[in-house]
Amino acid sequence: MSSNHQMFQRAQTLMPGGVNSPVRAFKSVGGEPFFTARADGPYLWDVEGKRYIDFVGSWGPMIVGHNHPAVRESVARAIGHGLSFGTPCPAEITMAETISKLVPSIEVSRMVNSGTEATMSAIRLARGFTGRSRIVKFEGCYHGHGDAFLVKAGSGALTFGTPTSPGVPKALADLTLTLPFNDFDAATRMFDEVGSDIAGLIVEPVPGNMNCIPPRDGYLQHLRNLCTKHGALLIFDEVMTGFRVALGGAQAHYGITPDLTTLGKIIGGGMPVGAYGGKREIMNQIAPAGPIYQAGTLSGNPVAMAAGLAMLELIQAPGFHAELSRRTQLLVDGLQALADGAGIAFSTTRVGGMFGLFFSDEKIETYAQATACDTARFNRFFKAMLDRGVYLAPSAYEAGFMSMAHDEQIIADTLQAARSAFATLNSA
């Protein structure tokens, strides 16, 4: 089989930058990406046979580990009946019932095929329902690559220093207002000035694309209050946080009820999927129940539904999220202790099974603080960990993800690698 380098050389002649999603190119951290041949439990294996402990988890959905037998077997059963029907299928109903049971604010839902599609549809619905045009988002939050969202975006757009993207018309960008996350006063001022024009406010309740930054106490409730007061819809983008920070998502963890929620990742068990949903009176404006159009041939695909239902069943096991949170705490506490012992400015964040690593001695709560961290030192740490068989997100602006396949031995192995990796930073 070809080496990672040979594959990347081939790929660069056939795909932009050699990848099908920008952050995979390792451009931020330097070097070349590895190409995964297979995955199982907490591990990835590249095409050269090297094994990595994986803390990316396909960017979140692999909460029970890669290639879980229950998910795999559910997919195999579904495949036996066909890959795509283009008609309604029973699994769609079961999925909608399951989502509504676990996330009560979602009375009615619509399946789509990606998180981007879910968020694009949600803001169209917010505009159609309210009759207003403006949308509010936050610096460093990433809601997919829809035109309206590529205004001071996070994730790959932030990694490459292009907070706005060519190809996004200025007239459309002008309808997207941007706020600093965790700033109470800025949100109040914006709504006081233009609240009557705002259709909806969309937020990652725990941003995961300027690394992992939890909300300050009361901040999400403040946004809820502002939206209620000014007649705007509060949209929680729970593509990352949904079913990961708690069984009912971040809205259950923080006790906030949004008007609309977008989901993805876990509800597909790792297969392409997304969903949006919320209050019945709002969702019934979507065609064919109402006039706001949105459609998709592969929406509710029976194979993706089968994978997602198997995943959602697994994570409903008693104590699942408490144990996931405990293991995440064990990891970040261990990393913090190692960095402190090495005299390295370092801080961590954690919510449920998400975590953030920052080369800074500050408690990171804002976009400005995240972008002021020592990214060069992160890049060296990333490379040192990769050399030692631990795969972290290849960007200083991406959250990490724990799975239930990461047992205490895996965490101990990770900390052993980190001890050596931190030592290289002091010798550099």
**Alpha helices, DSSP H, located in 285-366:** 302-314, 320-342
* Strand, coil or helix: 171: helix
Strands 233-237 and 198-203: parallel
Q: Cα torsion for 205, 208, 212, 215, to the nearest 10°?
A: -10
Residue of 52, 152, 265, 276 marked active site: 265
CA distance 31 to 12: 14
**Alpha helices, DSSP H, located in 106-162:** 115-130, 155-159
Q: 399: Cβ–Cβ under 8 A, 6 or more apart, which residues?
A: 208, 209, 211, 212, 240, 354, 355, 356, 393
Read off the amino acid at residue 353.
Answer: G
Q: Which among 243, 276, 240 has a CA at the least distance from the CA of 258?
A: 276
CA distance 297 to 120: 17
CB atoms within 10 A of CB 328: 24
CA distance 345 to 332: 14
* Strand, coil or helix: 37: strand
211 and 396 in contact (C-beta within 8 Å)?
A: yes
3-state helix, strand, coil in the chain (%, to 5): 45, 15, 40
Q: Which among 349, 393, 367, 62 has a CA at the least distance from the CA of 203?
A: 367
The CATH label, of 3.40.640.10, 3.30.1300.10, 3.40.50.1370, 3.30.710.10, for the domain at 69-314 is 3.40.640.10
The one-digit pLDDT tens for each residue of the chain (428 residues) are 689 999 999 999 999 999 988 888 888 898 999 999 999 999 999 999 999 999 999 999 999 999 999 999 999 999 999 999 999 999 999 999 999 999 999 999 999 999 999 999 999 999 999 999 999 999 988 888 887 777 664 444 444 333 467 777 777 778 889 999 999 999 999 999 999 999 999 999 999 989 999 999 999 999 999 999 999 999 999 999 999 999 999 999 999 999 999 999 899 998 999 999 999 999 999 999 999 999 999 999 999 999 999 999 999 999 999 999 999 999 999 999 999 999 999 999 999 999 999 999 999 999 999 999 999 999 999 999 999 999 999 999 999 999 999 999 999 999 999 999 999 998 75
Q: Is residue 363 annotated as a catalytic residue, yes or no?
A: no
Q: Is residue 101 annotated as a catalytic residue, yes or no?
A: no
Q: Which among 201, 213, 277 has a CA at the least distance from the CA of 239?
A: 277
CA distance 186 to 222: 11
Q: How far is CA 71 from the centre of its chain?
A: 20
Give, in degrees to the nearest 5, the angle at Cα 332 between 327 and 333: 95
Q: Does domain 4-67+319-427 have CATH number 3.90.1150.10?
A: yes
Residue of 219, 237, 259, 391 marked active site: 237
Q: Which among 42, 28, 36, 55 has a CA at the least distance from the CA of 380?
A: 28
Residue 73 in tokens: 């077997």
Instruction: Render pLDDT for 312-370 as a digit per residue (tens, 0 to 9).
Output: 999 999 999 999 999 999 999 999 999 999 999 999 999 999 999 999 999 999 999 99
Domain boundaries in the chain?
Answer: 4-67+319-427, 69-314
Q: Which among 346, 65, 63, 45 has a CA at the least distance from the CA of 211?
A: 346
365 and 413 in contact (C-beta within 8 Å)?
A: no
Q: How far is CA 403 from the centre of its chain?
A: 14
Residue 284 in tokens: 């019934």
Q: Which helix (H) or strand (E) holds 309?
A: helix 302-314
Q: Is residue 46 annotated as a catalytic residue, yes or no?
A: no
* Res 152: pLDDT: 60
Q: Which residues make beta-bridge pairs with 390?
A: 53
* Res 428: pLDDT: 57
Q: Which among 348, 334, 330 has a CA at the least distance from the CA of 402?
A: 330
* Res 164: pLDDT: 61
Q: 130: Cβ–Cβ under 8 A, 6 or more apart, which residues?
A: 199, 200, 231, 232, 233
Q: Which residues make beta-bridge pairs with 39?
A: 44
Q: How far is CA 388 from the centre of its chain?
A: 26
Q: What is the DSSP letter of 31?
A: S
Residue of 43, 142, 367, 397 marked active site: 142
Strands 176-179 and 198-203: unpaired
Q: Which residues make beta-bridge pairs with 110?
A: 276
